[in-house]
Amino acid sequence: VKVVVVANPANTNAFILSVYAPSIPRENITCLTRLDHNRARGQIAKRTGAHNSDVKNVIIWGNHSSTQYPDVSHGTVKGKSIREVVKDDVWLDKGFIDTVQQRGAAILKIRGLSSALSAASSVCDHIHDWVLGTPVGEWVSMGVVSKGDYGTTAGLVFSFPVSCKAGTWTVVKGLTLDAASQQRLHATEEELLEERDLAQEVLAETK
């Protein structure tokens, strides 16, 4: 069994599943942040005039919410650093991040409906790469049960950059995070901890 939780709060719903469905291996429980990942790629492609497929190794860290951290620090466009190609750190560090974080809310406000088709397509991308693997040297974003990677709290379902092979995901190790990035990771982790604690409190009351 492989699980992709889509319903919000996706990370915390996946966390609850990881606790209350012990028969499912924790590494087989994930949540969808590929929609955010694809949106981040799309924003960079639009800004640079490239095709989405030319944009690689962006990262969505943390929660599938407005605290998520869309990170381009290790990403490329046609093999060149995104920052080198875009040449606008102010936009990358503010406007880009805000747009990706708020994209779902913006679509809901305009259409009165969520982006169901985009979410469905992203689920397909998520499963495709999980089962069939990611190209060598490339990664995608998936919400997975943390083992303490990058200083995060073990047990939380946190979005990381992962590479996949033969149905198994592995968190990409050794990526450098500057002070601003570390602060953003901390902020999204704090939200996830609050959600976890609230969920555990509610579940305890229902026993």
Q: Which residues of 49-75 are buried (b: 16+ CB within 10 A; e: fewer)?
A: ebeeebbbbbbbbbbbbebbbbbbbbb
Residue 52 DSSP code: G
Nearest to residue 61, comparing CAs of 136, 193, 150? 150
Helices (H) and strands (E) in the chain, counts: 7, 10
Q: Are 12 and 157 in contact (CB under 8 A)?
A: yes
- 64 catalytic? Reply is yes
**For residues 63 and 24, what is the distance between their CA atoms, to the nearest angstrom?**
22
Q: Exactly one of 37, 64, 128, 186 is catalytic; which is it?
A: 64
**For residues 159 and 143, what is the distance between their CA atoms, to the nearest angstrom?**
4
Nearest to residue 138, comparing CAs of 172, 89, 188, 174? 172
User: Which active-site residues does the annotation give?
Assistant: 64
